Amino acid sequence: MALRSGWLKNPWRRAEQRSHDPYWDFFINTAPADRANSLLDVLRKAPEGNVFPTKADLHTPEVTARHVTEMARYLGADLVGITKLDADEAGHPSAIVCAVRAHHDPSQAPGIGGQVPVQNGLFVTFVLSAWIRELGYRASMAASLDAARLAVAAKLGTLDRTGKLVTAEYGTRVHVADVIRTDLPLAAA
Amino acid sequence: MAVTPGTETPRPPYLGRSVRIVGPVANVDMNQTPHPRNSRGELGKALFNWYRNTISRDPLTRVSAPNHFADQRNFLASVVNQAPKGKINSRQVAVPDPAVMTRHIKAVARHMGADVVTVARAHPSFLYAATAPPKDSAARDVYQNSSGDVFQGRTPEQMAQRYPYIIVATTAWDYDKLQAHRHYIGDAAYHVSQMKAQMILKALEGYIKELGYAALRGVSNPQAAGLASGVGELGRNGLLIHRKFGARIHMPDPIMTDLPLVSDQPVDNGVEDFCKVCRKCAINCPTNSVPFGDKVVFNGVEKYKINWLTCYKVRPYMDAHWGSCLTCATVCPFTKPNVWWRSLTVWALSTCPIPARPVLVRALKAIDDRFWGATRQTRVRWLGYDSGIKPGEQACTVAGCTAPHGTAHAANPVGNVGYYAPLKENTNRFVKRDA
C-alpha cells in the first residue's frame, strides 16, 4: 500500500484495519509456545539434497544471472543481487542474496506473523538453491552474519550506522534471507 | 424419539447453483482416489512407472512436482508436509466475537501470501471416510494424509459437530505463464504456487494451534468445502471457478478447526449459466475427458463429471513435454488476468437476472472466442523456456546468449504461435466423442 497515513484510509473499512484487530499483536509479537508450530526450524534444518549428476546446458553467465534473478523474483523475493566471493571456505565463487519486504523487523517480532518475512525468505532460498543443485551445480544456503555486508556488495542497498541494510525501495523494512553460495557460473549484477 | 447427540444426520448442505445434492452421499475414501490407486499399481504399468519411477528431465519440475524428483530433499513440499506436528497451546485465546476472529484469520492468511481465504461450515459429507491413510510418500506429500489427525473413532457427524469450521486458504497460478498450458512453463506456474499454498496452510495450521485450538489436516474434501464457502462454482471442467482468478486456483487440503468463526456462503458467479453454453474446455481437452453433455448424478451429487481416468492416462506419454496438462483451466473464459474489465464482466454476469443470462453468456462467449481464440496458442517465453519451439526440437531463443550449446539446435522459430504437445489434431481421431 502506497498510502500509509491512517487518516487517509477509507473510514468504512475501519474494521479491517490492523489497528482494529485485537489479535494482530499476538500474531506479530508472541513467540510460539511450541516451536514445532513454526516452519522456520524445519526449513532451516532440512538436509541439503544431492547435486544432479548431469549438468544442464547453460547460457552465458550474464544470461544465467538474469534467469536466477528472475526465478528468485518469481518465487517471491523483492530484491535479488549477485556478488562474487573472494575467499569462501567451500570454494564457491558467487553468492546470491535475496531480500524480502518486512513490515515488522523479524529480530524484534518473534511471533509467527513477525517471522513471516523469514519464512518467505526461506521459501525463496530453499527452492532456488534446490533448483541450482538440480541444474547440476553446487549451492548451499546458510544464515550468515555477513548477510548485510554481502547484500551491499550485491548492490541491494547500503548499511546504516547500526549495520542494518537500507534499500532504496523499502528503506530498512526489509529482511535479508539466507545467502546462497554457489559455483553456478554467474556474472555479478 | 431420543437421538444421541452427534448421530443425527444434518440436512444436505447448499453448495450453490452449480452442484446439487440429490441423494445420499457416501464419504469419499482417500485410498480410492486416483493417485493412491495408481501408487498401488491398479491403473496399469505405464501409469505406475510414470508415477513411481520417473525422474523429470526438467530441473524446475524436479524441485516442484510431487513425484518425479531426483532427490526428495530438494522438494520443499515434502520437507514441509512431513514436519512434526506442533502441540495445541494450553493457554487458549478467548474469542468473544467470532466475526472479529474470522477477519483476523483471513488477514493472517493473506499476510502469509494466500490469494483466497474462505470459511466453510463443516458438513459430515465433506469429510473423507475414516480409513487408514495411504502408505505412499508421494500421495502423502500432496494430501497430508499421513498426519496424526485421525477420527479417533468418531463418526463424520460427530467430527463435523466437534470441529464445525473448515478454513480454505489457497493461491492462484500465474496468468501469463499459464498461457503455456501443456508445457514446462505452465507446470512452473502450477507447481510453484502449489508449494507456496502448502507452506501457507502448514503455517496457518501452526498459528491456529498457537491460538489454542485444534487444526486438522487430511480430513476434509477441499472441493466440497470450497463450494460451500464460496471460493467458486464447479465448472464443466470439474474445477472450482473463482470470481477473480477463474479456474487458476489450487484446492489444497483445507484446515478443519474448532476455532469459533463465521462461515461464508456459496457464491453465484454465473459459472452455472456459462458452462451450459460454453464448451471450450470440452473442445480443447486433448483426451476428450471433459463432458459435452449435461450434468450427471454421481455419489448423490448432481454435477459435471469428468472422466478422470482418460485425463490421467495421457500423462506417462507426455512426460518429456509437461507434467500437468492445465488446458481446461487455461481455455476457460473465466481464467483471465485479475483486472477491472474482468471484474466488471463477472459483476455484470452475476447481477444479471437468471432468465436473461443465456443471452449475455452467448455474447460474452463470442467476445472471448474473437479476442482470445477458440484454442490457446500463445507463445510464452520464460527464462530459457520457449513454447514457440516445437516439441522434440531444441533451440536457444534467449536474447543476447552467445553460449556454444552442446546439442544440435534447430533454427530459431519466428512468429507468436506456441506449440503444446500433444497437438489436438493428433488425438482427436483416436477418441469417439459422446456428443
Looking at the partner chain, which of A47, A50, A113 has a beta carbon nearest the beta carbon of B70?
A50
SS3 B367: helix
User: CB of B197 within 8 A of CB of B178?
Assistant: no
Q: What is the pLDDT, as a whole number, of residue B81?
A: 84
Closest by CA position to B251, among listed B240, B259, B262, B260? B240
Question: How near does any CA of chain B get to the CA of A161, in Å?
Answer: 30
Question: How near does any CA of chain B get to the CA of A125, in Å?
Answer: 11
Inter-axis angle of helices B98-112 and B184-210, nearest 10: 140
- Name B417's bridge partners: B378
Q: Is A30 in Cβ contact with B210 (below 8 Å)?
A: yes
Confidence of residue B410 (pLDDT cuts 50, 70, 90): low
B382 contacts on A by Cβ (under 8 Å): 70
Average pLDDT over residues A115-126: 95
User: CB of B310 within 8 A of CB of B41?
Assistant: no
- Residue B131: pLDDT over 80: no
Model confidence over B279-302: pLDDT tens digits?
Answer: 999 988 888 899 999 999 999 999
B87 contacts on A by Cβ (under 8 Å): 33-34, 36-37
Confidence of residue A3 (pLDDT cuts 50, 70, 90): very low
User: CB of B318 within 8 A of CB of B182?
Assistant: yes
Distance separating alpha carbons of residues A82 and B9, to the nearest angstrom: 61
A75 contacts on B by Cβ (under 8 Å): 192
Q: What pTM does this model have? A: 0.90
Residue B248 cell numbers, joined: 487458476
Distance separating alpha carbons of residues B266 and B415, to the nearest angstrom: 44
Distance separating alpha carbons of residues B159 and B123, to the nearest angstrom: 9
Q: Is B93 in Cβ contact with A23 (below 8 Å)?
A: yes
Q: Which of B58, B79, B405 to mutate to test the interface with A (most CBs of A within 10 A)?
A: B79
- Residue B92: pLDDT over 80: yes
Q: Which residue of A has its CA nearest to B404?
A: A59
The residues, ordered by sequence, that sit 6+ positions from B206 with a Cβ below 8 Å of its Cβ are A32, A36, A37, A38, A39, A112, B86, B215
Chain A contact for B398 (CB, 8 A cutoff)? yes
B199 contacts on A by Cβ (under 8 Å): 39, 119, 123
ipTM value for the complex: 0.90
Q: Pick the residue with more confidence: B420 or A181?
A: A181
Looking at the partner chain, which of B60, B113, B209 has a beta carbon nearest the beta carbon of A37?
B209
Model confidence over B334-381: pLDDT tens digits?
Answer: 999 989 999 999 999 999 999 999 999 999 999 999 998 888 888 999
Chain A contact for B404 (CB, 8 A cutoff)? no
Q: Is A123 in Cβ contact with B199 (below 8 Å)?
A: yes
Phi (first) and psi of residue A159, to 5 degrees = -95, 140
The residues, ordered by sequence, that sit 6+ positions from B215 with a Cβ below 8 Å of its Cβ are B204, B205, B206, B208, B209, B255, B256, B257, B259
Closest by CA position to B144, among listed B251, B218, B204, B66? B218
Question: How near does any CA of chain A get to the CA of B402, in Å?
Answer: 6
Burial of B196 (0-12, 13-18, 19+ CB in 10 A): buried
Least confident of A183-187, B62-66, B130-134, B239-243: B130-134
Q: What is the pLDDT, as a whole number, of residue A71?
A: 95
A106 contacts on B by Cβ (under 8 Å): none
Model confidence over B216-270: pLDDT tens digits?
Answer: 888 899 999 999 999 999 999 999 999 999 999 999 999 999 999 999 999 999 9
Buried b (16+ CB within 10 A) or exposed e, B104-129: bbbbbbebbbbbbbbbbbbbbbbbbe
Q: Which of A59, A70, A131 to mutate to test the interface with B (most CBs of B within 10 A)?
A: A59
- Residue B134: pLDDT over 80: no
User: CB of B434 within 8 A of CB of B291?
Assistant: yes
Reported as type and span, the H/E element at residue B234 is strand B232-234
Q: What is the pLDDT, as a whole number, of residue B189?
A: 93
- Name B172's bridge partners: B249
SS3 B118: strand
Q: What is the pLDDT, as a whole number, of residue B143?
A: 46
Chain A contact for B59 (CB, 8 A cutoff)? yes
Distance separating alpha carbons of residues B188 and A68, to the nearest angstrom: 14
A131 contacts on B by Cβ (under 8 Å): 59-60, 63
Looking at the partner chain, which of A21, A119, A127 has a beta carbon nearest the beta carbon of B107?
A21
Q: Which of A28, A55, A134 to mutate to test the interface with B (most CBs of B within 10 A)?
A: A134
Inter-CA distances, B263 with A150, B14, B168, B253, B266, Å: 47, 13, 11, 18, 10
A34 contacts on B by Cβ (under 8 Å): 86-87, 89, 209-210
- Residue A66: pLDDT over 80: yes
Contacts with A, B 68-107, CB within 8 Å: 70-76, 79-80, 83-87, 89-91, 93, 100-101, 103-104, 107
- Residue B177: pLDDT over 70: yes
Q: Is A116 in Cβ contact with B111 (below 8 Å)?
A: yes
| Summary mean pLDDT of chain B | 86
A37 contacts on B by Cβ (under 8 Å): 86-87, 89, 206-207, 209-210
A36 contacts on B by Cβ (under 8 Å): 83-87, 206
Q: Is B86 in Cβ contact with A32 (below 8 Å)?
A: yes
Phi (first) and psi of residue B204, to 5 degrees = -65, -40
Closest by CA position to B158, among listed B188, B120, B189, B127? B127
